[in-house]
Amino acid sequence: MLPCRILNKSAAIGFGCLLFLLFVVGNAAAQKIVLMPMADLSKGENGINLGFTKAVETSLKQLGVELVSRSDVKLFMARNKVRTYRYLDSYLVKKIGAEFEVPLVVIGTIAELQEEEPTIGITFTALDTTDGAPVWAASVATSAQEQVRMLGIGEPKTVIELVRPLLKETLQPLVKLAYQAEASESRDYQLLGFHLSPGYVQGGQVVGANLKVKFLGQRPTLIAAESEAGKSYLQYDRQTDSYVGEWFAPRENGTYKVDLRFEWGRERTVERITSVASFEVINRPPGLTMEIKKGVKIGQRLAFRDHLLILPRLDNLRPMAGWALEIKRADGEPEVYEEHEGDLPERMVWEGRGSDGAKLANGVYDLTLEVWDLAGNRSSDSQRVVLQSSTPKVKGRITYSGGKAHLNLAAGGLFEFPLTSWQADLRSMKGQLLTRGEGKQLPAQLEFTPIAGEIEAYLSVSGEDLLGNRLRITRQKIRLVEVDEQVEEQKVKSWVPDF
């Protein structure tokens, strides 16, 4: 170990980025170190400056430090896909240490570089290959403007000229470290991912595990996933280079933390990593209720003419996997089906339209809202509603009896609630009032005396139903001969927002 570390409580264990030191065995001191190619931020995040790397190598060699060859280092970088030092973690540093038997890895970064007006900023960090931790750092930042010489004699013209005298001075402490340091043999591992699927289950369902882990050196004899549900050994899958296994979830509700257990060698030395992942057993359905607002209670029935506000309520607040809303006619014919992933919205509005956006006919509809949680527990609630977005149609018919003419008015078309009030008048072609009447119920009959010679008359009807839908028919032609005539309601142009 290098001398300048502060060791406190658990830091001494050397736990870093899920890297675990298992065996650290010191061997003979080695002065050889690895200098990674200099990162050059002026060329972008992944930039490398080989010219400067050479300058640093020269300075280190002049200081008496032996270096691993650059080609070997580059080969290591290519094999291990090291493109940026941002992800050169402790595991890789230890791997470098094990592969080249070096105690130190030096990473240099050119933080700032300007060739035209020589300017440079460099940082160096030395990492201990025993635990991958940084043990030394230095930085240099200067420019030609800061290095003004007397009468301009010997002023640096290039960045290399500018920085070379400073490099030796900066890197000097590294020599001492390289002499003091010891290479170590370590057996470590890097946990790349431990995935449980599904993460939410019902009691008794199967939980699958997939472990991606890299080992420095020998792999453990056995790897197990351990939780309150028991211990389950994971099998190595050569195709995916991962360890897989599965077990049955316990019956009881709760969160179950999963530990990893590595068993090494014949003695089955056990190394345990606690709480690497967890799964949750949920047996209770979400407890859904649906409250419907903006409707009118008529007897036992909930009716509406314009829109309904659907307010879903859950008895517990946990993330939901999805929900579906189904609207069917009373005869079971589906009109709307909406299915979505994720949590339920706080509110929904139904404007009495079908899946195609067209207004549905008056009638009885069943609304069913279903929700399911991540464990697959389902809960649903249904309510029957009555849609009446238009008044009943009014049928007018002229009959004759006893020398008198009668206007017969009757309700027609699809409707659930009749008109609660109506007014009608019948006028001759010249506008003379033939008859007028009003009432609260249909059918109704109005007596009148037709004008001789006229075969048609104008009928006007207005009315309103229980839900407030209004009927208005003006000057509709009606034949005075004895035939059935259905009076068409005049469409009212209106804008209604989409569902």
Partner 1 sequence: MLKMTRLHILWAGVLLLLVGCAGNQRLQTRLMSDADTNICNVAVLPFENWTQKSELTLLAGRMFASQLIQSKAFNTVQEGDVGMFLLRQRLLPGNLLYKEHYAALENQLDIDAVIQGRIVEAGSYSQRGGRRIPLLSLYIDMYDARSGKLLLNSVHQRRGDEYRKVMHFGVVTTNSGLIEKMSREIINDWFSKGVTCR
Q: Are 327 and 357 in contact (CB under 8 A)?
A: no
Q: How far is the CB of 38 from partner 1 (least distance, A)?
A: 12
Does 121 help bind partner 1 (rule: CB under 8 A)? yes
Minimum Å gap between C-beta 42 and partner 1 is: 7
Asked if 132 interacts with partner 1 (CB under 8 A), we say yes
Give whichever of 105 and 467 is closer to partner 1, judged by the CB atom.
Answer: 105
Among 30, 35, 65, 127, binds partner 1 (CB under 8 A): 127
**Of the candidates 25, 28, 116, 145, which one interacts with partner 1 according to CB under 8 A?**
145
- H or E stretch at 324: strand 320-329
Among 132-140, 199-207, 372-380, 423-431, the segment contacting partner 1 (CB under 8 A): 132-140
Q: Which is nearer to partner 1, 4 or 78 (CB)?
A: 4
138 contributes a contact to partner 1 by CB under 8 A: yes
In terms of CB distance, is 92 or 258 closer to partner 1? 92
The reply on whether position 172 binds partner 1 by CB under 8 A is no
- Residue 16 lies near partner 1 (rule: CB under 8 A): yes
Compare residues 191 and 478 and give the one whose CB is closer to partner 1: 191
173 vs 354 by CB, closer to partner 1: 173
User: If 0-12 CB within 10 Å is exposed, 13-18 middle and 19+ buried, where does residue 428 land?
Assistant: middle
d(CA 71, CA 185): 23
Report the alpha-carbon distance of residue 469 to residue 449 in Å, rounded. Answer: 32
Nearer to partner 1 by C-beta: 113 or 411? 113
3-state SS, residue 103: coil
Q: To 5 degrees, how large is the angle CA 398–CA 399–CA 405?
A: 90
Q: What is the longest distance spanned by two Cα atoms in the chain? A: 135
Tokens of 494: 């209106």
62 SS3 class: helix
Least separation in angstroms between residue 380's CB and partner 1 is 32
N- to C-terminal Cα separation, the chain:
69
Which among 3, 264, 267 is positioned nearest to 130, based on CA atoms? 3
Q: Binding residues for partner 1, how many (CB under 8 A)?
A: 51
Between CA 142 and CA 148 the distance in angstroms is 11
Q: Which of 79-87, 285-293, 324-332, 394-402 is the region at the interface with partner 1 (rule: CB under 8 A)? A: 79-87
Stretch of residues binding partner 1 (CB under 8 A), selected from 56-64, 143-151, 176-184, 447-455: 143-151
**86 is a site residue for partner 1 (CB under 8 A):** yes
Using CB under 8 A, pick the residue from 11, 29, 50, 349 that binds partner 1. Answer: 11
Q: Length of the chain, please? A: 499
In the sheet that holds 206-215, the strands lie side by side as 189-197, 206-215, 242-248, 230-237, 222-227, 254-264, 269-281, 200-201
Per CB under 8 A, contacts with partner 1 among 174-203 are: 193
Angle, nearest 10°, between helix axes 50-62 and 159-180?
A: 50
Question: Would the CA dihedral through 167, 173, 178, 181 be positive or negative?
Answer: negative
Which of 60, 73, 88, 104: binder of partner 1 (CB under 8 A)? 88
263 touches partner 1 by CB under 8 A? no
Report if residue 143 touches partner 1, rule: CB under 8 A. yes
Stretch of 1-9, 205-213, 323-331, 399-407 lying at the interface with partner 1 (CB under 8 A): 1-9
Distance CA 24, CA 202 (A): 44
Does residue 151 interact with partner 1 by CB under 8 A? Answer: no
Measured in degrees and rounded to the nearest 5, phi and psi for residue 317 equal -100, 90
Residue 111 binds partner 1 (CB under 8 A): yes
Q: Scanning residues 266 to 305, which ones bind partner 1 (CB under 8 A)?
A: 275
Burial 129-143 (b: 16+ CB within 10 A, else e): bbbbbebbebebebb
> Is residue 296 a contact partner of residue 302, using CB atoms and an 8 Å limit?
yes
Find residue 262's DSSP bridge partners.
Answer: 223, 271
CA quadruple 114, 115, 119, 120: dihedral sign = positive
Per CB under 8 A, 141 contacts partner 1: yes
85, 189, 243, 448: which one binds partner 1 (CB under 8 A): 85
Q: Which of residues 31 and 90 has its CB atom nearest to partner 1 in the complex?
A: 90
Q: Is residue 10 within the footprint of partner 1 (CB under 8 A)?
A: yes
- Which parts of this chain interact with partner 1 (CB under 8 A)? 4-6, 8-11, 13, 15-19, 41-42, 45, 85-90, 92-93, 109, 111-112, 119-125, 127, 132-139, 141-143, 145-146, 148, 193, 275
